[in-house]
Amino acid sequence: MWLINLLLPASHEVSSDLVVPLGYLGLLTVVLFLFGMLQAACKVIWFLVGLGWVLMVVRIVLEALQG
């Protein structure tokens, strides 16, 4: 609450009735941000796993051709 009052001019203080809804909204925002980060990390991990499989198949094919 102090952060919002810090940003607003002194004549426009936010009502104390908004403390709980702003807290819930802030908490939901943090949770959504964390889920977004996890989703991005999951995509990177899948890319790395796919790249690893491709490289493994290429190596097996090259070793089979060298014979």
21, 24, 26, 44, 54 from 29: Cα distances, Å: 12, 9, 5, 23, 38
Longest dimension (CA), the chain: 83
Listed by start position, the domains of the chain span: 2-66
Percentage above 70 pLDDT, the chain: 78
pLDDT for res 50: 97
| Range 48-66 average pLDDT | 95
Give dist(CA 58, CA 50) in Å, integer. 12
Higher pLDDT, 19 or 46: 46
Higher pLDDT, 13 or 61: 61
Would you say residue 6 has pLDDT above 80? no
Q: What is the average pLDDT score of the chain? A: 86
